[in-house]
Amino acid sequence: MAQQIPYKIYLSEDEMPKAWYNVRADMKNKPAPLLNPGTLEPMQFDDLRPVFCDELIRQELDNDTAYFEIPEEIRAFYRMYRPSPLVRAYCLEEKLQTPAKIYYKFEGNNTSGSHKLNSAIAQAYYAKQQGLKGLTTETGAGQWGTALSMACAYLGLDLKVFMVKVSYEQKPFRREVMRTYGANVTPSPSNTTNVGRKILEEFPGTTGSLGCAISEAVETAVSTPGYRYVLGSVLNQVLLHQSVIGLEAKAALDKYGIKPDVIIGCAGGGSNLGGLIAPFMGEKLRGEADYEIIAVEPASCPSFTRGRYAYDFCDTGMVCPLAKMYTLGSSFIPSANHAGGLRYHGMSSILSQLYHDGYMTARAVEQTSVFEAAELFARTEGTLPAPESSHAIRAAIDEALKCKQTGEEKTILFGLTGTGYFDLKAYEQYNDGTMTDVIPTDEDLEKGFAGLPKVDK
């Protein structure tokens, strides 16, 4: 008789991963290197030192080492909110009347409300190790800023967060969480930086943008002794840290002898998806197992499904290195009716290469159908999901309904990256029936592509 699978599989603290897994080590085609925007030459260790801390640069540039040991201090922090549960979605299966078996790895049971904390504590730890005084970063809606505030409070590091002014004013709750954890939160653009003052002079009434906030955070890091800049997604180091999600999920499944057929994650910059799929992708790359891996992105910001695979600026301010990725162009901004995250114009270089090489597929889903899935999930499984995570829920439900038609008993694993407690304005639109879908036209996309830098690589 088959062993009864509990609703939630928790690893013991002993069973938690002791090393992060670097999927690049198993990639035949390595992700393309970051390029210096001036020389178009690959960025080297020394080029990156003014901005990032040393150990993180090593992790960023290392395409060969398969495992990086997780320092005990980071593992101690992980034990405060990890292992995260791997949940069998019995109630959702019952509701859908599907023969599919659905599992999700839930990363929302911490105050940052998402998986972002996994990399925040790692980045803060290495900064502390290097003897730095503080960090700077930017945040839009505030998930990343919250996670980093928690990590810096724990380690006693200073933190300056540049928060897009419109969010600072209209979404005061995330701001107050960050302040409670001791972060210095500045609405961007601000008069504390050259770039901020310049923008304020030119556009006195501006409500800010992520691109501007990045520029202010980088300027502050570079010009303040003992400070460095950190980023919560897209980078190779972030995917490395986030591999803890996939390693835990795989260990929990292995305990019960379960092998997923389909693995689904939402994709913005790629940090969650890259982390969830890492060990499974490793097996696939090494030819040890096969998995169907699906990236799910919003139809309003479709970098995988309608983007170009090309070198592009990582930020709208064009101050950062160039990265080769699936991109909509750094000037692309999703329609104003787009709710929640997943609004980044590009995609992790690692995932871009894997997608390009055919190791995973991608699909775009529309906003109202995402919230429909979110509502169904909340009512059956209890947890109110983040809009980002609900992209993965949508695809998981669609796959489960396919199984219902074909009778296949597929095992589906998806990433539930976080909770929607700070996204209730979007839920209100959905509840009121005023939410709409806006999909960029080909002309919209062409405008974004027109701004791609000319790089012959």
Nearest-approach distance from CB 179 to a second copy, in angstroms: 5
Q: Which is nearer to a second copy, 104 or 359 (CB)?
A: 104
Query: What is the Cα–Cα distance from 189 to 211, expressed in whole angstroms?
Result: 10
Residue 176 contacts a second copy per CB under 8 A: yes
Exposed e or buried b per residue across 368-388, where buried means at least 16 C-beta atoms within 10 angstroms of its C-beta: ebbbbbbbbbbebbebbbbbb
Q: Which is nearer to a second copy, 154 or 359 (CB)?
A: 154
Q: Which of 45, 50, 424, 457 binds a second copy (CB under 8 A)?
A: 424
Residue 170 contacts a second copy per CB under 8 A: no
Nearest-approach distance from CB 7 to a second copy, in angstroms: 4
Query: What is the Cα–Cα distance from 366 to 380, expressed in whole angstroms?
Result: 22
Q: Which of 18, 30, 130, 173 binds a second copy (CB under 8 A)?
A: 173
Q: Which of 18, 30, 379, 457 binds a second copy (CB under 8 A)?
A: 379
Nearest-approach distance from CB 338 to a second copy, in angstroms: 18
Q: Which is nearer to a second copy, 51 or 384 (CB)?
A: 384
Count CB-CB contacts under 10 A for residue 77: 22
Nearest-approach distance from CB 118 to a second copy, in angstroms: 13
Q: Which is nearer to a second copy, 203 or 421 (CB)?
A: 421
Residue 131 contacts a second copy per CB under 8 A: no
Query: What is the Cα–Cα distance from 99 to 197, expressed in whole angstroms?
Result: 59
Nearest-approach distance from CB 178 to a second copy, in angstroms: 10
Residue 428 contacts a second copy per CB under 8 A: yes
Task: Provide the token pair at 46.
Answer: 């020394």
Task: Map the footprint of a second copy across residues 74-113, applying CB under 8 A.
Answer: 79-81, 91, 109-111, 113
Residue 169 contacts a second copy per CB under 8 A: no
- Quick one: which segment of 2-10, 219-227, 389-397, 441-449 binds a second copy (CB under 8 A)? 2-10
# residues contacting a second copy (CB under 8 A): 42
Nearest-approach distance from CB 424 to a second copy, in angstroms: 4
Q: Which of 68, 126, 154, 291 binds a second copy (CB under 8 A)?
A: 154
Query: What is the Cα–Cα distance from 191 to 205, expressed in whole angstroms?
Result: 13
The answer to whether the CB of 317 falls within 8 A of the CB of 219 is no
Encode the chain in three state secondary structure.
Answer: CCCCCCCEECCCHHHCCCEEECHHHHCCCCCCCCECCCCCCECCHHHHCCCCCHHHHHHHHCCCCCEEECCHHHHHHHHHHCCCCEEECHHHHHHHCCCCEEEEEECCCCCCCECCHHHHHHHHHHHHHCCCCEEEEEECCCHHHHHHHHHHHHHCCEEEEEEEHHHHHHCHHHHHHHHHCCCEEEEECCCCCHHHHHHHHHCCCCCCCHHHHHHHHHHHHHHCCCEEECCCCCCHHHHHHHHHHHHHHHHHHHHCCCCCCEEEEECCCCHHHHHHHHHHHHHHHCCCCCCEEEEEEECCCCHHHHCEEEEEECCCCCCCCEEEEEECCCCCCCCCCCCCCCCCCCCCHHHHHHHHCCCCEEEEECHHHHHHHHHHHHHHHCCCECHHHHHHHHHHHHHHHHHHHHCCCCEEEEEECEECCCCHHHHHHHHHCCCCCCCCCHHHHHHHHHCCCCCCC
Q: Which of 29, 45, 170, 172 binds a second copy (CB under 8 A)?
A: 172
Q: Which of 218, 294, 384, 396 binds a second copy (CB under 8 A)?
A: 384
Residue 382 contacts a second copy per CB under 8 A: yes
Nearest-approach distance from CB 85 to a second copy, in angstroms: 9
Q: Which residues pair with 238 in a beta bridge?
A: none
Q: Which of 44, 130, 180, 191 binds a second copy (CB under 8 A)?
A: 180
Q: Which is nearer to a second copy, 245 or 426 (CB)?
A: 426
Nearest-approach distance from CB 88 to a second copy, in angstroms: 10
Q: Which of 19, 153, 439, 455 binds a second copy (CB under 8 A)?
A: 153
Residue 203 contacts a second copy per CB under 8 A: no
Q: Which of 378, 438, 439, 455 binds a second copy (CB under 8 A)?
A: 378
Nearest-approach distance from CB 3 to a second copy, in angstroms: 13
Nearest-approach distance from CB 103 to a second copy, in angstroms: 14
Residue 422 contacts a second copy per CB under 8 A: yes
The strand pair at 8-9 and 86-88 is best described as antiparallel
Residue 251 contacts a second copy per CB under 8 A: no
User: What residues make contact with a second copy under the rule CB under 8 A?
Assistant: 6-8, 10, 12-13, 79-81, 91, 109-111, 113, 150, 153-154, 172-173, 176-177, 179-182, 374-375, 378-384, 419, 421-422, 424, 427-428, 430-431
